[in-house]
């Protein structure tokens, strides 16, 4: 029996030692035998074929040859020296070349002894060469845990420079299997394995590192990908079940006077079927004695705010207060203004709390909040300050929740002894696969239709050379009484350049749209808040027809009369940003337009982004394309990207498998919520082990 197990420090493995162990820890996060076992290759090279030297052509991809080194010498060059060996087989000769580790290699090489060499072939002065080949004595090659599909592991420059090559990593894993044996604990139940025709855990681990053929590799990948996704889903769904059972919430029993009065007399338009469906889901949650934890997704302009307000009115009808937190002052102020307007004439007290509110006003506000006089508080991060105390907060609504960190959100629901109901809203559509993985412990509602009367924004891509015809079109729209946004990119690394772009653009627009016929507002990050607000107000009141801005207007500016959005250097924006910007127009009854301006020089990825924008205005389709282009980590932002630190699965490529894993997890927990059935003993043990080390980001509650 082995002295070692999966928790043994990697420094005890043969061929590792303390120095290499430190490098593996810092560079690859490999601390234990288990970490190394689960360090899966990211690609494979077919090593079934051997070549003869006379068959070689320049720029073959990586190939392998059997032969002998007949001569080896050091050759001086301008900087340092290189080591050159003559390598022969029965058909001819070639040169093996090294530029690093020369002394060590020269001492280690055996002359006239059969070797297998592997590497990329080139040609130098008419001679075929291979630089820094992988080499193994033919005798050793025949004895080792050999595989036709050679695994290639992720590496770093530091590891390569310190001599930790792909071959060395593969050798470490061979030692690992010799130490631990080939039998590993099963982690799935027999019924799941049979149902999905999966191979065992032990077979999968062996064949992921040493596949004898493609078919076995595919089976190993399928098994390990399913397992990884299954346990993520199991954790998320179980978390949801436990929370619903344990965390009691306020029961909003009635729909009362405020809700009914608003619904019958104040609603500015009939709710869409999607809004009604979402409201039904929310009402079921808040009337169930369990705490609601729901994510509300809806495209820009889909009417999330009305749903949020109706939910707050139910809380007020049941004697509770409501809070709405937004990421920026502009957005918080806008929510406040629109709610005050909607609630006009109703006996409901609404206040705004942001960083700009004066100390004297704050004191009055705090007192009204604590006494229960204040019904609805809207604000920014200021809402989570310790001084802000509610009398009885019943519901907390968070807008654009991905802009807040986990700790910031959790502060809001510590404002009461019993946690308030939580509704998080986002106008950034989250692809289904990502939502299942990252927000799998939340209930998810989607508003997937626009209110009646809203026309789809027409989008066109134009090159800089078409600028005059674009200006002509803008003048026609302004003549109809409409307003125009012209947005410039803001990229932090080059703020000076961004500012210059904006100012150059402003000058050329000022020359084209001259006073007194046209008035122009300008807004950018270097302005004082008061100046920004002044310019915004001029545009809102219609005193200026054109707003030249950086992306500060991305979120939350609602000006129904603005019907054209021109996005300059559109290739410098990400898809979700382009989609958010386009959502700033199309808020009135008139036809609106989005014009994407670019130079002719475009990367392939930029072309895909621009074509996607022109072809569809469906936020979910756009989010799917964005996910494929950027990957999950980038879409979720740094705060949440740790959520999907997946070892082998890929939620884009393995979307179908993710759905299967989720279904199996739900079915299992429906029958056996605490995993106590004897059949699920392996799953329970693996689940407990994973829960100890888990980094799954799901601290929403």
Cβ-based neighbour number of residue 119 at 10 Å: 19
Asked if residue 620 lies in contact with residue 579, where contact means CB atoms within 8 angstroms, the answer is no
Q: Is 224 left (phi over 0), alpha (psi -120 to 50) or beta?
A: alpha
Query: With 60 as the cut, is the pLDDT of residue 658 above it?
Result: yes
pLDDT at position 698: 40
pLDDT at position 640: 44
Averaged over 283-296, what is the pLDDT?
89
Least confident range from 329-343, 442-456, 500-514: namely 442-456
Say which CATH architecture domain 48-146 belongs to. Answer: Beta Barrel (2.40)
pLDDT at position 652: 74
CATH assignment, 1-45+155-181: 1.10.150
Determine the Cα–Cα distance for residues 109 and 117; give it in Å rounded to an integer. 12
pLDDT at position 684: 94
% helix / strand / coil in the chain, to the nearest 5? 45, 20, 35
Asked if residue 570 lies in contact with residue 460, where contact means CB atoms within 8 angstroms, the answer is no
The band of 350, judged by pLDDT with boundaries at 50, 70 and 90, is: very high
Q: Where are the domains of the chain?
A: 1-45+155-181, 48-146, 257-447, 458-616
Determine the Cα–Cα distance for residues 105 and 98; give it in Å rounded to an integer. 8
Asked if residue 175 lies in contact with residue 8, where contact means CB atoms within 8 angstroms, the answer is no
- SS3 at position 355: coil
Determine the Cα–Cα distance for residues 28 and 36; give it in Å rounded to an integer. 9
pTM, rounded to two decimals: 0.68
Using the Cα atoms of residue 240, residue 242, residue 244 and residue 247 in order, give the sign of their dihedral: negative
pLDDT at position 370: 92
Burial 414-433 (b: 16+ CB within 10 A, else e): ebbeebbbbbbbbbbbbbbb
Q: What is the pLDDT of residues 50-109, one digit of tens each?
A: 889 988 865 566 788 999 999 999 999 888 899 999 999 999 999 999 988 888 889 899
Query: With 60 as the cut, is the pLDDT of residue 660 above it?
Result: yes
Residue 255 buriedness (CB in 10 A; 0-12 / 13-18 / 19+)? middle
pLDDT at position 238: 87
Averaged over 554-561, what is the pLDDT?
66
Cβ-based neighbour number of residue 363 at 10 Å: 11
pLDDT at position 31: 93
Query: Which residues lie below 8 Å from residue 700, measured CB to CB, with a gap of 6+?
Result: 293, 406, 409, 422, 424, 439, 441, 442
For the chain, percent of residues with pLDDT exceeding 90: 44
Determine the Cα–Cα distance for residues 410 and 421; give it in Å rounded to an integer. 12
User: What average pLDDT is seen over the chain?
Assistant: 85
pLDDT at position 490: 66
Averaged over 440-452, what is the pLDDT?
80
Give strand ranges (E) for 61-120: 63-76, 81-89, 92-98, 114-119
- Bridge partners of 71, per DSSP, are 86
The band of 421, judged by pLDDT with boundaries at 50, 70 and 90, is: very high
Query: With 60 as the cut, is the pLDDT of residue 154 above it?
Result: yes
Q: What is the pLDDT of residues 385-415, one digit of tens each?
A: 888 889 999 999 998 755 555 566 566 667 6
Tokens of 487: 């947005």
pLDDT at position 146: 61
DSSP 617-670: --HHHHHHHHHHHHHHHHHH-HHHHGGG--SS--TTTTHHHHHHHHHHHHHHHH
Residue 199 buriedness (CB in 10 A; 0-12 / 13-18 / 19+)? middle
Least confident range from 386-395, 601-610, 616-625: namely 616-625
Q: What is the pLDDT of residues 469-516, one digit of tens each?
A: 999 999 999 999 999 999 988 644 455 555 567 788 888 899 999 988
- SS3 at position 211: coil
Higher-scoring residue by pLDDT: 567, 619 = 567
Query: With 60 as the cut, is the pLDDT of residue 32 above it?
Result: yes
pLDDT at position 176: 92
Asked if residue 598 lies in contact with residue 567, where contact means CB atoms within 8 angstroms, the answer is no
Any idea which fold 458-616 has? Rossmann fold (3.40.50)
Determine the Cα–Cα distance for residues 475 and 629; give it in Å rounded to an integer. 36
pLDDT at position 413: 63
Q: What is the pLDDT of residues 558-588, one digit of tens each?
A: 788 889 999 999 998 888 889 888 988 887 7
Residue with tokens 């290699």: 105
Alpha carbon distance, N-terminus to C-terminus of the chain = 45
Determine the Cα–Cα distance for residues 502 and 522; give it in Å rounded to an integer. 9
Q: What is the pLDDT of residues 162-188, one digit of tens each?
A: 888 888 999 999 999 988 887 899 999
Using the Cα atoms of residue 600, residue 603, residue 607 and residue 612 in order, give the sign of their dihedral: negative
Query: Which residues lie below 8 Å from residue 253, measured CB to CB, with a gap of 6+?
Result: 287, 318
Determine the Cα–Cα distance for residues 660 and 306; give it in Å rounded to an integer. 35
CATH assignment, 257-447: 3.40.50.300
Tokens of 298: 């809806």
Asked if residue 596 lies in contact with residue 461, where contact means CB atoms within 8 angstroms, the answer is yes
pLDDT at position 2: 61
pLDDT at position 479: 94
Query: With 50 as the cut, is the pLDDT of residue 695 above it?
Result: no
- SS3 at position 6: coil
The band of 554, judged by pLDDT with boundaries at 50, 70 and 90, is: very low
Q: Note whether 48-146 and 257-447 share their fold.
A: no
């Amino acid at each position: 029996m082995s002295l070692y197990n999966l928790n043994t420090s990697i420094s005890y493995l043969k061929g590792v030692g303390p120095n290499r162990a430190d490098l593996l820890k810092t560079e690859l996060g490999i601390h234990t035998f288990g970490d190394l076992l689960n360090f899966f290759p990211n690609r494979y090279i077919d090593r079934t074929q051997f070549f003869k030297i006379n068959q070689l052509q320049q720029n073959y991809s990586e190939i392998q040859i059997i032969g002998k080194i007949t001569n080896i010498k050091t050759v001086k060059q301008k900087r340092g020296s290189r080591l050159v060996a003559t390598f022969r087989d029965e058909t001819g000769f070639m040169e093996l070349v090294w530029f690093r580790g020369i002394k060590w290699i020269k001492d280690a090489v055996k002359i006239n002894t059969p070797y297998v060499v592997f590497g990329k072939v080139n040609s130098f002065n008419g001679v075929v060469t291979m630089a820094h080949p992988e080499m193994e004595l033919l005798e050793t090659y025949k004895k080792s845990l050999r595989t036709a599909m050679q695994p290639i592991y992720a590496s770093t420059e530091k590891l390569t420079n310190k001599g930790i090559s792909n071959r060395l990593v593969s050798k470490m894993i061979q030692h690992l299997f010799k130490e631990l044996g080939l039998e590993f604990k099963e982690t799935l139940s027999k019924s799941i394995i049979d149902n999905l025709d999966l191979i065992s855990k032990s077979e999968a681990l062996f064949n992921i590192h040493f596949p004898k053929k493609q078919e076995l590799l595919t089976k190993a990948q399928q098994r390990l990908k399913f397992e990884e996704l299954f346990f993520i889903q199991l954790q998320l769904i179980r978390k949801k079940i436990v929370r619903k059972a344990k965390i009691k919430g306020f029961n909003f029993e009635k729909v009362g006077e405020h809700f009914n009065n608003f619904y019958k007399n104040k609603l500015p338009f009939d709710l869409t079927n999607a809004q009604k469906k979402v409201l039904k889901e929310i009402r079921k949650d808040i009337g169930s004695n369990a705490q609601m934890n729901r994510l509300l997704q809806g495209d820009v302009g889909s009417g999330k705010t009305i749903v949020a307000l109706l939910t707050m009115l139910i809380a007020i009808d049941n004697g509770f207060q409501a809070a709405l937190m937004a990421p920026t002052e502009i957005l918080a102020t806008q929510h406040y203004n629109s709610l005050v307007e909607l609630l006009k004439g109703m006996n409901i007290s609404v206040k705004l709390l942001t960083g700009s509110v004066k100390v004297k006003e704050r004191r009055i506000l705090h007192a009204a909040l604590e006494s229960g006089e204040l019904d609805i508080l809207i604000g920014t991060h200021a809402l989570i300050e310790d001084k802000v105390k509610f009398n009885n907060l019943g519901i907390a609504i968070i807008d654009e929740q991905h802009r807040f960190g986990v700790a910031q959100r959790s502060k809001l629901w510590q404002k009461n002894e019993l946690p308030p109901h939580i509704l998080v809203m986002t106008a950034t559509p989250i692809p289904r696969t990502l939502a299942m993985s990252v927000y799998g412990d939340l209930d998810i509602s989607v508003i997937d239709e626009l209110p009646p009367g809203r026309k789809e924004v027409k989008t066109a891509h134009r090159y800089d050379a078409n600028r005059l015809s674009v200006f002509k079109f803008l003048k026609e729209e302004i003549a109809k009484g409409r307003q125009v946004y012209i947005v410039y990119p803001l990229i932090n690394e080059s703020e000076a350049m961004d500012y210059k772009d904006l100012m150059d653009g402003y000058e050329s627009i000022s020359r084209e749209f001259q006073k007194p016929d046209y008035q122009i507002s300008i807004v950018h990050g270097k302005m004082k808040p008061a100046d920004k607000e002044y310019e915004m107000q001029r545009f809102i009141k219609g005193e200026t027809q054109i707003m030249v801005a950086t992306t500060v207007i991305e979120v939350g500016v609602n000006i129904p009369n603005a019907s054209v959005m021109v996005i300059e250097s559109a290739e410098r924006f990400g898809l979700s940003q382009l989609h958010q910007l386009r959502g700033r127009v199309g808020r009135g009854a008139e036809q609106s337009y989005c014009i994407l301006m670019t130079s002719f020089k475009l990367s392939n990825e930029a072309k895909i982004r621009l074509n996607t924008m022109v072809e569809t205005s469906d936020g979910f389709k756009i989010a799917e394309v964005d996910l494929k282009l950027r990957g999950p980590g980038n879409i979720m932002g740094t705060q949440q990207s740790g959520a999907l630190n997946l070892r082998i699965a890929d939620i884009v490529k393995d979307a179908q498998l993710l759905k299967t894993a989720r279904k199996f997890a739900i079915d299992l927990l429906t029958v056996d919520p605490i995993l106590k059935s004897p059949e699920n003993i392996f799953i329970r043990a693996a689940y407990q082990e994973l829960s100890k080390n888990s980094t799954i980001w799901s601290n929403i509650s």
